[in-house]
Structures are given as C-alpha cells and as structure tokens.
C-alpha cells in the first residue's frame, strides 16, 4: 500500500504549504512541505501540526494561511486540498508586528482646556443652584399653601352640600310611577 493511498484511507487531507517568515523580515518562500491534516481538527491541533512540520518553536508566533490568490484560509480541519504547483502560503508573524503605533492625535493642552471649561461650567451651575435654593424652598412652601387652601375650599363646599342634603326629608308619595306609566 502506497503512502498516498494509506493517507487517504485514514481520511487525512494533504495540503501543500510554502513558508514565509515575516517575523524575521524575510518575504521570500523558505520551505515547501506537504502537511497532513485530520478532518474535523480544531485550531490548536492544526497550528500544532504546522509548527511541527515547519519546526517553528517560538510560542508567540501568529500563523496565517493564504491561498494562491492571497485570501486568508481558516486554520481548521476543513482546509481544502491543493496541489504542489499552487501551494498555500503560511505566513509567520510576531504578535502585533504589523500594527504601527500612532502618536496622540489631540494634544494634552487641548484636553486640559476642554476639561477645565467643563469643570467651570459645572461649578457655575452648582453656584446658581445654591443661590436659588432659598427661593426654591419659598416657592415650594407657597405652592403647598395654595394647594391646602384649594382643598379646604373644596371640603367646605362639600360640607355645605352634605348639610343641605341632610336637611331635606321625604314628605309624600309618588304621583307617577318611576318607569313612566300613569296611575
């Protein structure tokens, strides 16, 4: 039994990969190897297979697998099979290697000035509230007294109506029935 038929019998997919070491600032293809990936393998397993195949020992490396057109391919157990003539490119980079640090876009003097302005505005609002506090208490008391006076007027009115209703007595009899027919 040949090695190719044995690998396919196990269900392993053959993937050809060319190695580019961006972590060492090298843009050329260093090695071309055949990698066997089991179907349904997770990310950690596939990364371990690639690191063992290409003997990458550093733990802080980032692996990117690209097809011949330059598109990223996810590192999992369903990597499509390719040929030796169109290998995938395994790019090895350091963590945050391609992230350029930018200087602050807003100078600290502008930030300090805006914060001082906000603080000054808040301080003025607090002072204004403290000045208006006695007036607010006075207006609150006036409103309460007005509501109390209104309620006492309503109670007096209702009390008078109740007295008038109590003073009436029933003297007599109905001359017509309540439902509208004549007797």
Average of pLDDT values for 122-151? 93
88 and 120, same domain (yes or no) = no
116 and 75, same domain (yes or no) = no
Tokens of 9: 């019998």
Within 10 angstroms of residue 133's Cβ, the number of other Cβ atoms is 10
Tell whether the model's pLDDT for residue 87 goes beyond 60: yes
Number of domains in the chain: 2
Tell whether the model's pLDDT for residue 175 goes beyond 80: no
Closest CA to 68 of 32, 98, 36: 32
Lowest mean pLDDT among 71-80, 95-104, 173-182: 173-182
- The confidence band for 31, taking pLDDT boundaries of 50, 70 and 90, is confident
57 and 107, same domain (yes or no) = no
33 and 78, same domain (yes or no) = yes
86 and 108, same domain (yes or no) = no
124 and 161, same domain (yes or no) = yes
- The confidence band for 1, taking pLDDT boundaries of 50, 70 and 90, is very low
88: domain range?
Answer: 3-94
24 and 87, same domain (yes or no) = yes
Q: Is residue 88 part of a domain?
A: yes
14 and 63, same domain (yes or no) = yes
Distance of alpha carbon 89 from alpha carbon 39, whole angstroms: 20
Average of pLDDT values for 32-41? 90
Tell whether the model's pLDDT for residue 89 goes beyond 80: yes
134 and 69, same domain (yes or no) = no
Mark which of 32, 65, 94 sits at the end of a domain.
94
82 and 141, same domain (yes or no) = no
pTM of full prediction above 0.85: no
- The confidence band for 12, taking pLDDT boundaries of 50, 70 and 90, is confident
Phi, psi of 30 (to 5 degrees): -90, -45
Strand pairing report for 29-37 and 13-21 = antiparallel
Average of pLDDT values for 34-60? 89
Distance of alpha carbon 37 from alpha carbon 11, whole angstroms: 9
- The confidence band for 35, taking pLDDT boundaries of 50, 70 and 90, is very high
CATH of the domain at 33: 3.10.20.90
108 and 90, same domain (yes or no) = no
């Amino acid at each position: 039994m040949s090695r190719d038929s044995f690998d396919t019998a196990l269900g392993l997919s053959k993937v050809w990969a060319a190695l580019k070491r961006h972590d060492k600032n090298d843009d050329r293809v260093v090695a071309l190897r055949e990698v066997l990936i089991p179907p349904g393998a997770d990310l950690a397993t596939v990364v371990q297979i690639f690191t063992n195949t290409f003997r990458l020992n550093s733990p802080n490396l980032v692996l990117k697998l690209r097809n011949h057109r330059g598109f990223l391919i996810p590192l999992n157990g369903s990597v499509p099979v390719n040929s030796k003539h169109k290998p995938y490119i395994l790019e090895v980079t350091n963590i945050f290697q391609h992230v350029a640090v930018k200087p602050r876009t807003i100078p600290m003097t502008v930030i300090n000035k805006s914060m001082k302005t906000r603080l000054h505005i808040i301080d003025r609002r607090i002072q204004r509230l403290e000045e208006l506090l006695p007036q607010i208490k006075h207006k609150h008391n006036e409103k309460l007294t007005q509501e109390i006076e209104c309620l006492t007027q309503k109670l007096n009115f209702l009390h008078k109506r109740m007295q008038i209703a109590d003073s009436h007595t029933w003297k007599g009899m109905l001359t017509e029935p309540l439902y509208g027919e004549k007797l």
